Amino acid sequence: MLEKTKNIAKQILEDKKADGIFGLMRNQWNVVQPHVFEDPAELDALVLEPKWLLAKLAMGILRSSPENYKLAVICRGCDERALIELIKRNQIEKENLLTIGIACSQEQAAICLCDRPYPAKLDAGEKVSGVDPFQDERVREFLIGNDKKRMGKWANVLKRCIKCYGCRNSCPICICDPCKLEDEVWVQKGVIPAEMITFHLIRAFHLSDTCVACGACQEACPVNIPLLYLQLSMRQTLREKYGYEAGLDPEIKSPVLSGAFEKPDTDREYPAWINSLREKDES
Amino acid sequence: MNQPKILIFACKWCGLIGADAAGKKRISLPALFRVIPVECAALVETDAIIRALAGGVDGIAVLGCHIGGCRYNNANHTAIKRMELLKDLLDTTGIGSNRLLFSFGTAHEDYQFEEIVKNFFDELVLLPPIDPWL
Amino acid sequence: MANITVFLCRCFGEIDSAIDFDLLREELSKDTSVSSLSIVDSVCLETDIKKAASQLKESKADRVLIAACSTLLRGNLPVDGLIKEGVERHKIGLVDIREGCAWIHGDDPEGAAKKAKDLINMGLAALRYREASEDMCVTVNPDALVIGTGPAGLAAATSLAKTGFKVNILERANAPGGMLRLISRCYPDNEDASDKLEPYIREVENNPLITFYPQSKIASIEGDTGNFTVQFSSQGKDNSIQSGIIIIATGAKIFFPTGLYRYGEIKNVITQMEFERQILNGSLKTKKTVFIQCVGARDRERPYCSTICCPISLKNAARIVENVPGGRAFILHRGIMTPGNTLEKYYRDTLSKGVQFIRFEEEQPPQIIGSDHVESVEVYDAVTGITRKIETDLVVLSTPLVPNNDNTRLAQMLGIEVDRYGFFSEIYPMHPLETKTDGIFICGSARWPVASDQAILQGKAAAMKAVSYLRQSTIAASTLSRVPGLKSGHACVDADACTGCGNCVAACPFKACHLEKLEGRYISTVNMMKCKACGSCVSVCPNGTIQIPEHNYRMVGEMIKRAF
């Protein structure tokens, strides 16, 4: 897979389809770092491991480059989805971006609890079927069970938060400046570990329809809070109710944004708690 | 929990007029709820709901107009879709989706406001308080 | 730090009998932002207002909070009075402690007093953080545009011209009249169709204020309320006009029931329109006619009733019986729809003339029998249970009116919506003939199938609604709320903080937001003429960039903090 990727990248640079290739390089001190390869000779140092989310960095590179600079990004499944979401949100112009898609191995999919460990445009590597996160033991601990126990479990993990903002900084979708999480109205400054519910729930809800389940937030957290699990049930609701998944198509916007009725409009079913008068014994 | 506190966001048209109608009929209601009038149920931000839950409020109710009856071209439909996702998140963390109530109504269903408030109070009494991790 | 004057209304004892005002007075005296507190008997009496306003200006207090009843929240006498005296709307805060507190917690004085204190604190916080939104004023173009010249369009155009406004009319065909040109007589009084149109057409030709553009095709429509620009071509020449309002009277078209009741396959099975055409050119030959109702209507595909087909059949059946010697007419129906006084009498008169009515069920439609032309119709009479065979030489099918093919394209150009069948849809609630965009009106069969008398009525009504816009020389965006005086501001974007994500553009129900590219990034801009301050954009914005200043998130956060 590595050789094939190097050849594709060399070809792109020689055909002048892009001005630079964005990937990982093993540098002269044997350390892996992200690098923009503009010279085909440098591509010998290209590596594909470890998993490194390049979407947000790519956005930064394109922002600070001249207007017609074309960048080709070597991306895994989650990276490609993040890039598509950024295109949807007008942060990256579609014409300036190319992707070289690589697939993840089954071991990597098991570590990330990913159910789609391959990009839609796959150039190198073999597709593997992912894992269903709801079957995993660690996830079931936090998502299944009675309310009081679950609340206690989440309270125990969220208590550890030190408000380092690592989750927000590493998330490829979090691009707002200024950010609501730094606003006194919502999150009080200088109070640790109080008011965690506001910080985490606001962040989790803002990502409800754009989270691509890349796991960057979890990996960035210094105290190992399982932040990905907060998003899983919302992603499942969107998939089941509207058939929508974030990051698959740059033209389809989130269904939560429009008030229009999906056709046909009379057959929409609403859950039982939405009605004017509720029966007392309905629980 | 025997004294649950409820915060009600009532849309200026159906929700608030319904609440007023209950007042005009001098129906007796428990005193632990506060009403904030908003222009449309679509204006209620989920962040405000989360802030209220963190600030000690036990239950939030959002009153809007019926589907097809919003004078802002079905803006209440967007609101309800968003609330469904928020309910998922509240369920995941164990806070419980029964703390959030979304109701459609019309201005002359004044008995509805009384039913909603009283039923909501009865439900919230049965729930355990939010874990003091705040 | 705002200085706030607080008025507590006793409402002649209604409020302070349930809430302890001494407690409130004590609490409010501790609040440093309250500069003065007055307890009045009744805020809504005139004398108290003038005194209040002068007190306000005297003490240089910035804002005023009135704690009284809920009728104030609808914008009422005290608020209007203060505004007239020069106080700005966003500086007046209103709290409801009567319907919201005193009258529902009469049996819990402690709870009621605490609730009143909290509500007033919330009101004070709201008043401190509230801001005013901008407004926009545009000059209104005093010309009107009417699209379509059926009876509805003609009535609208002539009414506007007689009131004194210049009217431009666009018509797809060569001459005015719409579908009424193709029929011979109108129900219920059997008036000649061309006689009915004649006074309107004469007005169109003679009135110098009306300009008629035949054979026109619309290319684009742009602009907002008060200033629409329409590019079109008429008789091959391109043209463009400006107008302050647009009235849509484009009508509907007939549904051709190909495949139903062997229409198109066998001779002498025709539609009502072809029946009228045969009368107009004298080629109608029949002695026994069978009319079949609800062909292609009130079924799965088109579950609506087209309102006009039953009276049309009554009219035509009566003509056969009266004018053809020995003529007979049968009406096969699934329920005759003739609501109202006049039409009910029309139905009974038709019955008394000898027209026969036979009811059939949807699952057992009548069968057309014949090889190359109709010989008889077999129908299962649902009332008697007998299958009858009727000999006939002409079968007339009553088909519904369906929307024009280009309704969707026209709606997109105008920025209005179509309903699930394709007819133009009105804005909800209680605003007949108005649409999502202020200044665009719909009337006649473009809105819903109607006959000519109703269409004329709707055209005149639309014209009168249009006059209320045209007669103003300027329109302020804040008055476009459809309920006078209650529009609460516009959404406002903080250009530095906007990330250009486009959420607000997608969420706005009135398409008032759009993205503009400035210095390499996208920034959202709000069109104040379209914005109705509903707040859909506010709740989907990820970092609180777009806000409604009268209800911004800082204000809500502070209110929540003080709620209990």
Cα–Cα distances in angstroms (integers) from residue C205 to residues C97, C152, C158, C198, in the given order: 63, 17, 10, 11
Q: How far is B42 from chain C (nearest CA, A)?
A: 5
User: How far is C217 from C236, CA to CA, in rounded Å?
Assistant: 9
C503 touches chain A (CB under 8 A): yes
Q: Give the one of B85, B98, B102 whose C-beta lies nearest to A208's C-beta.
A: B85
Interface test with B, best of A267, A277, A279, A281 (most B CBs within 10 A): A277
C279 & C384 share domain: yes
Interface test with A, best of C129, C304, C419, C501 (most A CBs within 10 A): C501
Q: Give the one of C99, C560, C561 whose C-beta lies nearest to B23's C-beta.
A: C99
**Would you say residue C427 lies in a domain?**
yes
**Among residues A225, A223, A192, which one has the least CA distance to residue A203?**
A225
**Would you say residue A33 lies in a domain?**
yes
B71 touches chain C (CB under 8 A): yes
| C139-197 pLDDT per residue, tens | 999 999 999 999 999 999 999 999 999 999 999 999 998 888 888 888 888 888 889 99
- Please report all neighbours of A, defined by 3+ CB atom pairs within 8 A: B, C
Collect all residues of chain B within an 8 Å Cβ-Cβ radius of residue C538. 43, 45
Q: If you average pLDDT over residues A114-137, what whole number do you get?
A: 87
Residues in chain A: 283
User: How far is B73 from C419, CA to CA, in rounded Å?
Assistant: 12
Domain that holds residue C156: 144-253+402-475
Interface test with C, best of B78, B80, B102, B121 (most C CBs within 10 A): B78
> Exposure string (b/e) for A91-102, b if CB count within 10 Å is 16 or more?
bbeeebbebbbb
> Is the sign of the CA dihedral A211, A212, A215, A217 positive or negative?
negative
Contact state of B79 with C119 under an 8 Å Cβ cutoff: no
Nearest chain B residue to A180 by CA: give it. B47
Q: Give the one of B12, B42, B51 whose C-beta lies nearest to C536's C-beta.
A: B42
C505: Cα separation from own chain's centroid: 23
Q: Give the one of A180, A196, A275 whose C-beta lies nearest to B47's C-beta.
A: A180
Amino acid present at A185? V
C158 & C55 share domain: no
**Would you say residue C406 lies in a domain?**
yes
CATH of residue C515's domain is: 3.30.70.20
C182 & C208 share domain: yes
Band (pLDDT 50/70/90 cuts) for residue C484 is low
C10 & C99 share domain: yes
Q: Residue C149: its pLDDT value, please?
A: 92
Residue C291 in this model has a pLDDT that exceeds 60? yes
Q: Residue A222: its pLDDT value, please?
A: 92
Q: Give the one of B51, B81, B84 whose C-beta lies nearest to A198's C-beta.
A: B51
Contact state of B39 with C488 under an 8 Å Cβ cutoff: yes
Residue A106 in this model has a pLDDT that exceeds 70? yes
Residue C313 in this model has a pLDDT that exceeds 80? yes
Q: Which of A103, A131, A159 is the last residue of a domain?
A: A131
Q: Give the one of C114, C509, C533 whose C-beta lies nearest to B74's C-beta.
A: C509
User: How far is C318 from C328, CA to CA, in rounded Å?
Assistant: 9
Q: Residue A265: its pLDDT value, please?
A: 40
Lowest mean pLDDT among A171-185, A210-224, B96-110, C516-530: B96-110
DSSP readout, B58-123? -EEEEEEEPTT--TTTSHHHHHHHHHHHHHHHHHHTTS-GGGEEEEEE-TT-HHHHHHHHHHHHHH
Collect all residues of chain B within an 8 Å Cβ-Cβ radius of residue A283. 123
Q: How far is C44 from chain B (nearest CA, A)?
A: 18
Residue B55: helix, strand or coil by DSSP? coil
Residue A260 in this model has a pLDDT that exceeds 60? no
A74 & A102 share domain: yes
ipTM: 0.93
Contact state of C507 with A180 under an 8 Å Cβ cutoff: no
Q: If you average pLDDT over residues B104-115, what whole number do you get?
A: 77
| C8-19 pLDDT per residue, tens | 888 888 888 888
Residue A276 in this model has a pLDDT that exceeds 70? no
Q: Residue B18: its pLDDT value, please?
A: 84
Three-state secondary structure readout of C243-270 = ECEEEECCCEEECCCCCCCCCCCCECEE
A219 & A143 share domain: yes
> Exposure string (b/e) for C253-288, b if CB count within 10 Å is 16 or more?
eebbbeebbbbeebebbbbbbbbbbbbeeeebebeb
The residue among A268 and C439 whose pLDDT is bigger is: C439
**Among residues A176, B12, B79, B82, which one has the least CA distance to residue C489?**
B12
Contact state of B23 with C104 under an 8 Å Cβ cutoff: yes
**Would you say residue A275 lies in a domain?**
no
The tally of domains found in chain A comes to 2
B134 touches chain C (CB under 8 A): no
Q: What angle (nearest 5°) sits at the alpha carbon of residue A62, between those of residues A60 and A65?
A: 110
Contact state of C553 with B43 under an 8 Å Cβ cutoff: no
Q: Burial, C89: exposed, middle or buried (Cβ in 10 Å; 0-12, 13-18, 19+)? A: middle
Domain that holds residue A114: 2-131
C59 & C97 share domain: yes
User: How far is C222 from A110, CA to CA, in rounded Å?
Assistant: 55
User: How far is A19 from C46, CA to CA, in rounded Å?
Assistant: 75
Q: Residue B107: its pLDDT value, please?
A: 66
Q: Give the one of C100, C482, C560 whose C-beta lies nearest to B35's C-beta.
A: C100
Amino acid present at C50? K
Put simply, whether the predicted model's pTM sits higher than 0.90 gets the answer: no
| C250-270 pLDDT per residue, tens | 999 999 998 899 998 888 899
Nearest chain C residue to A261 by CA: give it. C420
Q: How far is B31 from chain A (nearest CA, A)?
A: 20
Q: How far is A204 from chain C (nearest CA, A)?
A: 12
Nearest chain C residue to A86 by CA: give it. C501
Band (pLDDT 50/70/90 cuts) for residue A277 is very low
Q: Residue C270: its pLDDT value, please?
A: 92
Contact state of A90 with C515 under an 8 Å Cβ cutoff: yes
Q: Residue C403: its pLDDT value, please?
A: 93
Three-state secondary structure readout of A8-55 = HHHHHHHCCCCCEEEEEEECCCCCEEEEEECCHHHHHHEECCCCCCCH
Band (pLDDT 50/70/90 cuts) for residue B132 is low
Q: Which of C76, C95, C129 is the last residue of a domain?
A: C129
User: How far is B56 from C490, CA to CA, in rounded Å?
Assistant: 32
Residue C283 in this model has a pLDDT that exceeds 80? yes
**Would you say residue A162 lies in a domain?**
yes
CATH of residue C412's domain is: 3.50.50.60
| A212-257 pLDDT per residue, tens | 998 899 999 999 999 999 899 899 988 888 888 888 888 888 888 8
Q: Give the one of C420, C536, C553 whose C-beta lies nearest to A259's C-beta.
A: C536
CATH of residue C61's domain is: 3.40.50
- Rounded to 10 deg, the angle between the A196-206 and B46-54 helix axes is 160
C274 & C367 share domain: yes
Residue A281 in this model has a pLDDT that exceeds 50? no
The residue among A265 and C371 whose pLDDT is bigger is: C371
Q: Give the one of B93, B96, B115 whose C-beta lies nearest to A154's C-beta.
A: B93
Q: Number of CB pairs < 8 Å for B and C? A: 136
What does residue A83 show for φ and ψ, rounded to 5 degrees? -65, -40
Q: Residue C373: its pLDDT value, please?
A: 87
Q: How far is A154 from chain C (nearest CA, A)?
A: 25
| C38-49 pLDDT per residue, tens | 888 887 775 566
Interface test with A, best of C503, C513, C515, C556 (most A CBs within 10 A): C503
**Would you say residue C115 lies in a domain?**
yes
A180 & A117 share domain: no
Q: If you average pLDDT over residues C471-482, what whole number do you get?
A: 84
Collect all residues of chain A within an 8 Å Cβ-Cβ radius of residue C507. 257-259
Radius of gyration (Cα) for chain C, nearest Å? 32
Contact state of A196 with B133 under an 8 Å Cβ cutoff: yes
CB A83 within 8 A of CB A55: yes
Structure tokens at B58: 């036990």
Q: Residue A16: its pLDDT value, please?
A: 87
Number of C-beta neighbours around residue C405 at 10 A: 9
Beta carbons within 8 Å of B15's beta carbon, 6+ residues apart: B8, B9, B37, B41, B63, B64, B65, B105
Collect all residues of chain B within an 8 Å Cβ-Cβ radius of residue C111. 30-32
| B16-67 pLDDT per residue, tens | 888 888 888 888 888 899 999 988 889 999 999 999 988 889 999 998 888 7
Q: Give the one of C70, C111, C509 whose C-beta lies nearest to B72's C-beta.
A: C509
| C337-379 pLDDT per residue, tens | 998 899 999 999 999 999 999 999 989 999 999 888 889 999 9
Collect all residues of chain A within an 8 Å Cβ-Cβ radius of residue B104. 274-276
DSSP readout, A48-81? --S----HHHHHHHHHTS-TT--EEEEE-HHHHH
Q: Residue C245: its pLDDT value, please?
A: 94
**Among residues C480, C496, C267, which one has the least CA distance to residue C393?**
C267
Q: Residue B108: its pLDDT value, please?
A: 67
Strands, sheet with C376-380, edge to edge from the N-terminal-most edge strand: C367-369, C376-380, C387-391
Number of C-beta neighbours around residue C37 at 10 A: 16
Nearest chain A residue to B93 by CA: give it. A151
Radius of gyration (Cα) for chain B, nearest Å? 14
The tally of domains found in chain C comes to 4
Q: If you average pLDDT over residues A194-199, what whole number do you get?
A: 75
In sequence order, which ranges of chain A are alpha helices (DSSP H)? Answer: 2-14, 55-63, 77-88, 106-112, 137-143, 147-158, 166-170, 196-206, 216-220, 228-242
| A148-192 pLDDT per residue, tens | 788 888 888 888 888 889 999 999 999 888 888 888 888 887 776
Give percent of chain C with pLDDT exceeding 70: 96
Q: How far is B49 from chain C (nearest CA, A)?
A: 9
